[in-house]
């Protein structure tokens, strides 16, 4: 099975998933989208209203900022892979509950395995806590870990993990906007560690 076939299979499993209560209130599942050969994967929290309506990740207001942040590195959304910890919208945009996160996690682990990214960027506390736990990295607080490179083993492979704030947080707290753009400079550097040309040549 090639990457595309393997991802289609997971997307299908997600579409038919009834493993937690979130299937009852969803309109669409939101498995994730992007380039399966990318070196970088962005992991958010859970779909919101627009994502639930369209089946696509980060297409609302927070998504607009995420798109700008990705473009600030000289990349486009089409060159990266974007997904969430939880693939269905929690009602009223409440936080995903621990049992929902753990029930959904096998899908994310399989997606990471297929894409085999060099860098994972976690957006916000839920994504960071979950990925840190998966990689056996102790989590303190977002303010202590954001914009910092961590190395962790996921699915038996070492991956660079860089947490940053959730773009939605910057919509309410404009001070975080600059911090997010600074963190994305760190992310770009991590991607180009052994390569100094434009990222466009580096990511298919």
**Tokens found for residue 39:** 């070196």
CA distance 9 to 14: 9
Nearest residue to ligand URA, by Cβ distance, number only: 44
CB-nearer residue toward ligand URA: 132 or 202? 132
Candidate residues 7, 22, 42, 44; the one interacting with ligand URA per rule CB under 6 A = 44
Window contacting ligand URA (CB under 6 A); options: 58-66, 110-118, 141-149, 175-183:
58-66
User: Please, which residue, 93 or 178, has the CB nearer to ligand URA?
Assistant: 93
Q: Total number of residues binding ligand URA (CB under 6 A)?
A: 13
Q: Name residue, tokens 């991956």.
A: 159
User: 31 burial class (0-12, 13-18, 19+ CB within 10 angstroms)?
Assistant: buried
Residue with tokens 């083993």: 153
Between 46 and 162, name the residue whose CB sits nearer to ligand URA: 46
Q: State the DSSP H helix or E strand holding residue 34, giving kind and residue range, or none if neither.
A: strand 33-34
Measured CA to CA, the distance from residue 24 to residue 91 in angstroms comes to 10
Binding mask 72-91 for ligand URA (x = CB under 6 A): ------------x-------
Residues that bind ligand URA (CB under 6 A): 44-48, 51, 57-58, 60, 62-63, 84, 168
């Amino acid at each position: 099975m090639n990457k595309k076939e393997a991802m289609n299979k997971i997307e299908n499993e997600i579409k038919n998933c009834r493993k937690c209560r979130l299937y009852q209130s969803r309109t669409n599942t939101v498995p994730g989208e992007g380039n399966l050969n990318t070196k970088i994967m962005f992991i958010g929290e859970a779909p919101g209203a627009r994502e639930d309506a369209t089946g696509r990740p980060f297409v609302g207001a927070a998504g607009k900022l995420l798109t700008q942040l990705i473009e600030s590195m000289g990349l486009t959304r089409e060159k990266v892979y974007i997904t969430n910890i939880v693939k269905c919208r929690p009602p009223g945009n409440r936080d995903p509950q621990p049992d929902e996160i753990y029930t959904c996690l096998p899908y994310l682990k399989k997606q990471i395995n297929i894409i085999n990214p060099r860098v994972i960027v976690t957006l916000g506390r839920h994504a960071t806590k979950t990925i840190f736990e998966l990689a056996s990295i102790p989590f303190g607080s977002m303010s202590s870990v954001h914009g910092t490179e961590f190395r962790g083993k996921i699915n038996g492979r070492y991956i660079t993990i860089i947490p940053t704030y959730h773009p939605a947080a910057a919509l309410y707290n404009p001070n975080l906007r600059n911090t997010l753009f600074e963190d994305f400079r760190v992310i770009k550097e991590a991607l180009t560690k052994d390569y100094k040309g434009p990222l466009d040549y580096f990511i298919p």
